[in-house]
Structure 1
């Protein structure tokens, strides 16, 4: 299995620092979670039902005509490659590595390319997988560019897969409203924006035909009853969502300033994280970990991704830890 952020318990054992003492910035998950109310007992006792109102609420939130709840966008990332015959697949890099991994594991011919190179070379691919905004590279794409790419792929049976896991803070950039077109598949994650990663929930927005095939591939009950209940309420909570967007955008900008002030101006980023390419990445990751600050280390390219601190104390601790770690490196 591939390496991911969020391995707090492992870090706690490695550095002999109690989990409660860490500043965990290793994921892009919002530290500001939607406040889940008490879940009714019936959600635990009964099998999940498709007509509980979740689909309608999700269609309204995502502005998508057809969608399928899944156990996190990861479930779709793994299932979609099994739904195609052997294909030539272009995947954005650097990016969420599970995309390329899943297509390769299903026997497809995969090439990873930087965003500009991938867009210019789309003619040689049957499937193009993009992340918008990219994780960790931060690239963003014009709507017209993505729709033109889809129009080039679809007539020959191709797919454009757009992973919008980090797009909820800027929903006007989404392609969900166009996802009923054959060959356009949009993946959405609930965990990042709503801070509910433990729910393992997401949605696939696509044409009715592909949604039907994916439903058959994944089988019944893709989400638990309690998760469906919580999502139905979270997706309908428009006042909280508006506040969350403002909070995330402000925190992302604050994080950018903290890193810049430390001499680590981000290479890229978005409302959920900031990313720094740096040859010292491994040493900085280690130095920060010894101070109880967990970041996400990437080996290729050498880089660090910083998630959002939850409060003022977290930002101050990060600033102090960076100063100390960089002083140690300089010495």
Structure 2
């Protein structure tokens, strides 16, 4: 199970283990990730200069478009080649001792040489060094109230850094505390492009933080932190306000439909993030296997063998196949 519990998106490994599809009605449905299945449609005529290194002006335009989307000053925004890279760089730039709130995204526990896990329910915002948490959380979709995070920022000292991974915040902008970032606060926010826009392969993310921290990220990343394709796609997507508004509504409706499906199958869906749901069953690994045998890939967990996370199906037909598979599960 290690490949499937390590990270979502292991479709190649699933095909090798459970077989490839034999026809349209047997095609694999990948629900193992929390990625929007209805991706932003990249225009066929989008101009990408493959022959030259990205210009500083183009990078600045991307960061300005993203900053407007986040509701922050562009001076606080730095593009990174995916939030995974950005988070791991943060582990080399921010002070220890470090704490990470659990349950959590696996990378959070790997950022520092030593870090202390703290249950989300037990965290009170105290402690010197660095605290990292996800909001909304992965994998359970829990959301820490904005007021609680604001209080933690307010009581923090200059040596008490708070890092909030907002990779799943785009569907509901009210969750974000990015607007609190300033040069006077030890607060850093990470945002992902690929999840909400459904284009994980672009490998684009952002650090939002005080300008001295942003400068340190830029120094580590070098002159060309992201590709010309990432710049062109990201800039155009963040400027597409109509698509963003429609996507938020559609994700909400898709998540409600998944809730109904899961409840009808006898499961209690957990989570407030519309990109995925978590269910607790007698044996999550066994249900994973039964669904995979029907070519439906989900996300099991080593540390929580009763959990199974499901992303959003892409179509009515996929919802029907999932409902039928769960009826036999």
What's the TM-score once normalised by structure 2's chain length? 0.92
Match of 1:171 in 2: 173
When residues 39 and 228 of structure 1 are mapped into structure 2, their CA distance, relative to the original with a 3 A threshold, is farther
The corresponding residue for 2:260 is: 257
Is 1:92 aligned with 2:97? Answer: no
Q: CA deviation at 1:267?
A: 3.1
- Residue 101 (structure 1) aligns with: 110
Structure 1 residue runs of 4 or more that deviate by more than 3 Å after TM superposition: 39-42
Query: Is 1:316–2:320 an aligned residue pair?
Result: yes
Give, in whole Å, the separation in 1 of the partners of 2:118 and 2:21.
40
Quote the offset at 1:29 in angstroms: 0.4
Contact 1:115/1:139 (<8 A) preserved? no
**Residue 82 of structure 1 is aligned with which of 89, 92, 112?**
92
CA distance in 1 between counterparts of 2:144 and 2:191 reads: 16
Residue 190 in structure 1 maps to residue 193 in structure 2? yes
User: For 2:50, what is the secondary structure of its paired residue?
Assistant: helix
CA distance 1:271–1:95, change in 2 (3 Å): same
Give the Cα–Cα distance (whole angstroms) in 2 for the partners of residues 163 and 123 of structure 1: 18
2:70 equivalent in structure 1: 62
2:279 matched to 1:276? yes
Q: Counterpart in 1 of 2:29?
A: 23
- The whole-number CA distance in structure 2 between the counterparts of 1:115 and 1:62 is 25
Does structure 2 conserve the Cα–Cα contact (< 8 Å) formed by 1:90 and 1:125?
no
Tell me how far 1:258 sits from its aligned partner.
0.8
Partner of 2:15: 12
1:137 Cα deviation from its structure 2 partner = 1.8
Whether the aligned pair in 1 keeps the contact of 2:158 and 2:186 (CA below 8 Å) is no
Report the RMSD for the aligned CA atoms in angstroms.
Answer: 1.7
Q: Does 1:33 align with 2:39?
A: yes
TM-score (norm 1): 0.91
2:68 & 2:88 partners in 1: Cα distance? 26
Shift of 1:256: 1.2
Aligned length: 317
In the alignment, which residue of structure 1 is the partner of 2:248? Answer: 245
Paired residues for 1:284-295 under 5 Å: 284-295=287-298
Go from structure 1 to structure 2 and tell me whether the alpha carbon gap of 1:42 and 1:97 turns closer, same or farther (over 3 Å shift): closer
Whole-Å Cα distance in 2 between the matches of residues 210 and 188 of structure 1? 16
Unaligned runs of at least 5 residues, structure 1: 326-331
Are the counterparts in 2 of residues 190 and 196 from structure 1 also a CA contact under 8 Å? Answer: yes
Q: What is the CA distance between 1:38 and its match in structure 2?
A: 2.7
